[in-house]
Amino acid sequence: MQKYLVPKEGVLVRDPHSFTPLPVAGALCDWNGNAGRFWRRRVKQGDCFIGEPKKEIKVEVKQEPETTSHKRGRSNK
């Protein structure tokens, strides 16, 4: 089982296996086993909290189709 954890503002929490910092936006972390024990302690101590992932806003960009009927440049005369 995994939970989405977000670090408390101003606190650097490192992953116990890779030693990379937990992103400010949060990340999914294991909640079971040895890694889970580590993350549960961090939550209990207040270094991070269980949060919700932010929903990404999809922005659609409409591209105009390229017109190839008009050629620019010199004509061969």
Kindly report each contact of residues 39-45 with a partner whose C-beta sits within 8 Å and lies 24 or more positions away, as own/partner: 39/3, 39/5, 42/5, 42/13, 43/5
* CA dist., res. 38 & res. 54, Å (int): 24
Q: Looking at the 3D structure of the chain, how many domains does it have?
A: 1
**Domain of 20, in residue numbers:** 2-50
Phi and psi (nearest 5°) for 35? Answer: -65, -40
Q: Is residue 25 part of a domain?
A: yes
Q: Is residue 75 part of a domain?
A: no
Q: What is the pLDDT of residue 23?
A: 94
Task: Express each pLDDT in 16-55 by its tens digit.
Answer: 999 999 999 999 999 999 889 999 999 999 999 999 887 7
Q: Does the structure show a pLDDT above 80 at 62?
A: no
pLDDT grade, residue 70 (50/70/90)?
Answer: low
Q: Is residue 68 part of a domain?
A: no
Q: Does the structure show a pLDDT above 80 at 60?
A: no
Q: Is residue 59 part of a domain?
A: no
Q: Is residue 77 part of a domain?
A: no
